[in-house]
Amino acid sequence: MLTILGPTATGKTALAARLAFELNGEVISADSRQVYRGMNIGTGKDYDDYRVNGVQVPFHLIDIVDPGYEYNIFEYQKDFLNAYLDILARKKLPILCGGSGMYLEAVLKGYRLASSGKDDEYLASLQDKPEEQLIEILKSYKTLHNITDFEDRARLLKAIMVAHASDKSQSAGKDVPAPGDQEFPRIESAIYGINYPRGLVKARIVKRLEHRLAHGMIAEVEQLLAGGIAPERLMKYGLEYKFITLFLLGKISRSDLFFELNIAIRQFAKRQMTWFRRMERQGIKIHWIDGRLSLDEKVAEIKNFKILVSLSIAKNRKS
């Protein structure tokens, strides 16, 4: 497998689609929000990028559930594996692409998660704890820490249960899954990350935000609200939906919308890079590519990935 990752606004989709076109591949999304139908502009579904030289590049795990549904990591693993095996069966190259660190790790590190995502006794022990204590419990699972899960009690409990299941299974050992957990295959992947100097990332975020606001992102949120999604629920689907919903509710001004959302996205990009650097410290090799290279240059740099995968497999076998 080939993996393309990086922070927001770095052009991952365009690169993955181009590689899929040239290497007889198909793209599997690793984006926790693009799974939702009707949430297109705010989640950055760059459908046009999947059309290369007039050819539609196949993609997977985009537009697979309705807004309001609580999609989780276990479901993602299952859906990823189905797509991955299907692509291999048709003798094509799977290309994992995205910026959601937990989704990427669930595949690249092979999280073993209980299919129910629940441990009744452990869950019962959490029910009467105050939210401040629950937050501290979630923080203790550093590998799976995600600050957006602090926003309400139900989401907080669910995040703890997912983290607990993963931690319990990983502690069982690299090759032996915890009882009742899903066995996830080890997948060899050449991993490439796109990175820009910080100033350029900020500029790209501003330009993209201006474009999205001018081309229907506010109307998209209005339509989702009109379709019956509660504002409180919608605001949990990411920064764009949070701030635009606040604007539509009259809680922030139009100028504040742009200012605050821009800052929040920049902070998010920084957190993504922090996550990727931690992945590297834990032994995941990421080959970083200068985002300033042209698309052709990026493709040329990655086309030797088969050599890297072969070397990695040989190294692992020797060890």
Query: In which band, very low, low, confident or very high, does the pLDDT at 184 lie, cut at 50, 70 and 90?
Result: confident
Q: Which two tokens stand for residue 21?
A: 């076109």
In this prediction the pTM is 0.80
- C-alpha closest to that of 208 among 13, 47, 42: 42
Report the DSSP pairing between strands 59-60 and 25-29: parallel
**Cβ-Cβ contacts under 8 Å for 107 (sequence gap 6 or more):** 30, 77, 80, 96, 184, 187
Query: In which band, very low, low, confident or very high, does the pLDDT at 116 lie, cut at 50, 70 and 90?
Result: very low
Residue range 7-37, pLDDT digits in tens: 999 999 999 999 999 999 999 999 999 999 9
Query: In which band, very low, low, confident or very high, does the pLDDT at 182 lie, cut at 50, 70 and 90?
Result: low
3-state class (DSSP) for residue 37: coil
User: What whole-number percentage of the chain has pLDDT above 70?
Assistant: 82
End-to-end CA distance of the chain: 21
Give the pLDDT of residue 275: 93
Query: In which band, very low, low, confident or very high, does the pLDDT at 138 lie, cut at 50, 70 and 90?
Result: confident
- C-alpha closest to that of 284 among 97, 104, 140: 104
Query: In which band, very low, low, confident or very high, does the pLDDT at 50 lie, cut at 50, 70 and 90?
Result: very high
Give the pLDDT of residue 175: 36
Question: 52 forms bridges with which residues in the sheet?
Answer: 55
Residue 58 pLDDT greater than 60, yes or no: yes
Sheet (strand 287-290) strand order: 59-60, 25-29, 93-98, 2-5, 190-195, 287-290
Cα 272 from chain centroid?
A: 10
Residue 311 pLDDT greater than 80, yes or no: no
Residue range 65-92, pLDDT digits in tens: 999 888 888 899 999 999 999 999 999 9
Classify the C-alpha dihedral 240-245-251-255 as positive or negative: positive
Query: In which band, very low, low, confident or very high, does the pLDDT at 154 lie, cut at 50, 70 and 90?
Result: low
Cα 78 from chain centroid?
A: 15
Residue 143 pLDDT greater than 80, yes or no: no
